[in-house]
């Protein structure tokens, strides 16, 4: 593994945070152009603009823009695509929160808790469809060859993401046990990595290179980065920080099949394993704080939290390796340094 | 004169990436090979395996979807069609807006309010005709009202880049209709069109509002487009806006 990039101060998590704030700001302004403003459609526009206005890291948009610039494109060319990615992501979050019965999103009550499930579903649908507009605007400008390739990677992403969400819900609702680490990584690839890292990097690469670079080349980098991101996200859900903006231990109440849970179950005594299985079989409403507390303690006892941290770091390292293979030959630039800094950033992000 | 202070050379010049392996490594002049713990090796190996399997499945799926006579040349028209369909769907989701439009065009009470509003400020020639009709034939108020309400007041709700409405005309459809617009185009073919125009009912039935988000990237100038009855495809009017420089 070439660690020179990670050791390079230009590729520090600080640079990543700084550029993410910069690109995030520009993407937000573009998003505002595409979301309803001024006169309000009752029960709709307020809901559509809610999640996008709550902030967020804008990681997906930033990956798209940085990838486009690193491959020779202009920021302006990538901005509509970056906006489309974020709008779609917000639409999916609305539905995700309903499916998971989540209570908090970015530090505030989830949309369905504020407005009810039917209106929230409607707003999520609208966001996903509105995301097509900036995407098409961008593709018209990019030309037929690039448009064809962007649509191809978008179709892949849509299929993989839907499969991933179905897997997670299916496991949760049908009690598919026992799961192993391969199952988890498969889920992280489908549910998280395609939408969060692979697709934005692919779209940026295609826009920046005007369709001349191979979009398949960033799949491995995106997968390892996305998987590390997801494991770190799972770990943070166990933390007690209110900065996180989600429900503390929400994943435990939702019985999400995280790497931490899978490891704890695999290494637990037969008695504890039966207790875990009984917990997983309950409905969310029947899972008490005492049960969740016991599970969190078990995670510590089995070293599952530490194990997940090790795996997240290992996958981030693999992402750095893949980065070198794909982006290594590109001339040095701030955007290349940004992408190089992402694996370290996902583990140390604020 | 004192010797210049210098920093002693460091025993370690690279970060310790694997504390366990580093602690166990014997002190030697031989180059250290980065030891990889079992957990790390297992995770990375598993990662590659899972990915390889998925890529193979994806390749097989793509092969299935690729079967057919799809040509790259079809992409632009496909994009337009897809964009149009998506916009229609997005508007369909805004059921409240559509309900309002439908009510506006079918509800007799709301229609009366609309006709009254239209009659209050008719064009000069129509006003004369109306005055004549009022004095000569008091038995025909409905006909006069129909003439006055042949046009629906159309205003713009503009957001994004500063712009203003320059001209608008919208005739009343013969039956309840949903309005649509493919986009506002510039005289310069190099400028991209302004798309995503949606329509909603004005407050208290006072006409129709065209909601237009002007992207910041659009060049200044005049942009025009036709308003259609979505069902029949018949043109109902035209709209022109000017994007400020």
Q: What pLDDT does B135 receive? A: 42
Q: What pLDDT does A38 receive? A: 60
For A126-129, which contacts have Cβ atoms below 8 Å and span 24 or more sequence positions? Answer: A126/A44, A126/A48, A126/A91, A126/B90, A126/B93, A126/B94, A127/A48, A127/A51, A127/A87, A127/A88, A127/A90, A127/A91, A127/A94, A128/A87, A128/A88, A128/A91, A128/A92, A129/B86, A129/B87, A129/B89, A129/B90, A129/B93
- What is the distance between the alpha carbons of residues B103 and A108, in angstroms, rounded to a whole number? 36
Cβ–Cβ contacts within 10 Å for residue B224, how many?
A: 15
- Residues of chain B positioned with their CB less than 8 A from the CB of A35: 213
Contact A37 B160 (CB under 8 A): yes
Contact A315 B37 (CB under 8 A): no
Q: What percent of chain A has pLDDT over 70?
A: 92
- What is the distance between the alpha carbons of residues A69 and B213, in angstroms, rounded to a whole number? 27
Touching check for B51 and chain A: CB below 8 Å? yes
Q: What pLDDT does B189 receive? A: 81
Q: Is the pTM of this model over 0.95?
A: no
Averages of pLDDT over each 10 residues, chain B, 245 residues:
56 48 40 67 86 73 52 47 51 42 45 48 44 44 49 82 84 69 84 85 67 87 85 81 88
Touching check for A347 and chain B: CB below 8 Å? no
- Residues of chain B positioned with their CB less than 8 A from the CB of A147: 75-76, 79
Report the candidate in A53, A49, A28, A65 with the shortest Cα–Cα distance to residue A342. Answer: A65
Average pLDDT, chain A: 88
* Token representation of residue A122: 């409607």
Contact A33 B215 (CB under 8 A): yes
Predicted complex ipTM exceeds 0.95: no
Q: What pLDDT does B174 receive? A: 62
Strands, DSSP E only, in chain B?
A: 154-160, 163-170, 179-180, 185-186, 198-201, 208-214, 221-229, 235-243
More reliable by pLDDT, B23 or A169: A169
Touching check for A9 and chain B: CB below 8 Å? no
- What is the distance between the alpha carbons of residues B45 and B51, in angstroms, rounded to a whole number? 10
- What is the distance between the alpha carbons of residues A125 and A48, in angstroms, rounded to a whole number? 9
- Residues of chain B positioned with their CB less than 8 A from the CB of A155: 65
Edge-to-edge strands of the sheet including B154-160? B154-160, B208-214, B198-201
Residue A189, min C-alpha distance to chain B (Å):
8
Task: For residue B221, give the 3-state DSSP assignment.
Answer: strand
CB B225 within 8 A of CB B181: yes
Touching check for B1 and chain A: CB below 8 Å? no
Q: Is the pLDDT of residue A119 over 90?
A: yes
Residue B84, min C-alpha distance to chain A (Å):
10
pLDDT tens for each residue of A228-282: 999 999 998 886 555 455 667 778 888 888 999 999 999 999 999 999 999 988 8
Q: What pLDDT does B225 receive? A: 87
- What is the distance between the alpha carbons of residues B227 and B177, in angstroms, rounded to a whole number? 12
CA-CA distances (angstroms) from residue A79 to A19, A128, A205, A208? 14, 17, 13, 11
Residues 175-204 of A with CB under 8 A from B: 181-182, 185-186, 189-190
Residue B184, judged by CB atoms within 10 A of its CB (0-12, 13-18, 19+), counts as buried
Q: What pLDDT does A141 receive? A: 84
Q: What pLDDT does B6 receive? A: 60
pLDDT tens for each residue of A132-166: 889 988 888 888 889 889 988 998 899 899 999 99
pLDDT tens for each residue of A61-74: 999 999 999 999 99
- What is the distance between the alpha carbons of residues A67 and A75, in angstroms, rounded to a whole number? 10
Residue linked to tokens 């009912």: B201
CB B97 within 8 A of CB B198: yes
Q: Is the pLDDT of residue A10 over 50?
A: no
DSSP state of A331: P
Least CA distance to B42: which residue of chain A? A311
User: Could you give the dihedral angle defined by the CA atoms of residues A319, A321, A327 and A333, in that order, rounded to the nearest 10 degrees?
Assistant: 90
Mean predicted confidence (pLDDT) in A218-234:
94
Residue B232, min C-alpha distance to chain A (Å):
24
Contact B47 A318 (CB under 8 A): yes
Residue B195 CB partners (closer than 8 Å, separation 6+): A133, A136, A137, B83, B87, B182, B183, B184
Q: What pLDDT does B152 receive? A: 77
Q: What percent of chain A has pLDDT over 90?
A: 64
Q: What pLDDT does B131 receive? A: 46
A50: confidence class by pLDDT, cuts 50, 70, 90:
very high
């Amino acid at each position: 593994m070439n660690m020179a990039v990670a050791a390079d101060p230009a590729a520090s998590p600080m640079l990543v945070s700084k550029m993410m704030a910069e690109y995030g700001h520009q993407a937000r302004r573009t998003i505002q152009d595409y979301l309803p403003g001024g006169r309000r459609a009752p029960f709709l526009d307020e809901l559509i603009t809610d999640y996008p206005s709550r902030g967020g890291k804008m990681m997906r948009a930033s990956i798209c823009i940085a990838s486009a610039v690193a491959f020779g494109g202009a920021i302006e060319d990538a901005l509509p695509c970056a906006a489309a990615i974020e709008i779609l992501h917000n639409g999916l979050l609305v539905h995700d929160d309903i499916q998971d019965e989540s209570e908090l999103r970015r530090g505030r009550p989830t949309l369905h808790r504020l407005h009810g499930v039917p209106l929230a579903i409607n707003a999520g649908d609208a966001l996903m469809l509105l995301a097509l507009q900036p995407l098409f605007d961008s593709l018209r400008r990019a030309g037929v060859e690039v448009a064809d390739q962007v649509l191809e990677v978008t179709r892949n992403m849509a299929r993989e993401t839907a499969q991933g969400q179905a897997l997670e819900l299916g496991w949760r609702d049908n009690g598919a046990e026992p799961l192993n680490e391969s199952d988890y990584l498969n889920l992280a690839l489908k549910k998280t990595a395609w939408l969060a890292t692979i697709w934005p990097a692919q779209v940026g690469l295609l826009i920046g290179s005007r369709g001349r670079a191979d979009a398949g080349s960033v799949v491995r980098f995106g997968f390892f980065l996305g998987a590390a991101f997801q494991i770190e996200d799972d770990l943070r859900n166990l933390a007690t920080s209110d900065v996180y903006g989600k429900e503390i231990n929400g994943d435990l109440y939702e019985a999400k099949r995280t790497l931490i849970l899978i490891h704890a179950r695999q290494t637990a005594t037969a008695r504890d394993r039966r207790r875990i299985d009984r917990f997983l079989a309950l409905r969310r409403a029947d899972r008490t704080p005492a049960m969740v507390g016991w599970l969190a303690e078990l995670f510590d006892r089995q070293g599952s939290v530490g194990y997940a941290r090790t795996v997240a770091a290992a996958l981030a390292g693999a992402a750095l390796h893949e980065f070198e293979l794909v982006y290594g030959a590109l001339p040095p630039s701030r955007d290349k340094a940004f992408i190089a800094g992402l694996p370290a950033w996902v583990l140390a992000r604020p | 004169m004192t010797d210049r202070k210098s920093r002693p050379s460091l025993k370690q010049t690279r970060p310790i990436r694997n504390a366990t392996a580093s602690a166990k490594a014997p002190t030697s002049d031989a180059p250290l090979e980065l030891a990889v713990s079992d957990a790390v090796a297992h995770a990375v190996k598993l990662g590659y395996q899972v990915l390889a399997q998925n890529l193979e499945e994806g390749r097989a799926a793509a092969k299935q979807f690729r079967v057919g006579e799809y040509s790259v040349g079809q992409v632009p028209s496909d994009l337009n069609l897809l964009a149009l369909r998506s916009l229609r769907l997005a508007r369909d989701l805004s059921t409240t807006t559509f309900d309002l439009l439908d009510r506006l065009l079918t509800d007799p009470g709301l229609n009366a309010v609309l006709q009254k509003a239209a009659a209050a400020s008719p064009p000069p020639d129509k006003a004369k005709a109306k005055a004549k009709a009022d004095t000569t034939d008091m038995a025909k108020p409905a006909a006069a009202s129909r003439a006055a309400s042949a046009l629906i007041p159309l205003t713009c709700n503009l957001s994004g880049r500063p712009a203003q409405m320059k001209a608008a005309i919208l005739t009343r459809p013969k039956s309840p209709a949903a309005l649509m617009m493919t986009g506002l185009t510039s005289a310069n073919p190099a400028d991209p069109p302004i798309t995503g125009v949606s329509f909603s009912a004005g407050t208290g039935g006072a006409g129709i509002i065209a909601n237009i988000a002007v992207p910041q990237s659009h060049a200044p100038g005049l942009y025009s487009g036709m308003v259609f009855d979505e069902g029949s495809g018949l043109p109902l009017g035209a709209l022109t806006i000017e994007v400020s420089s």
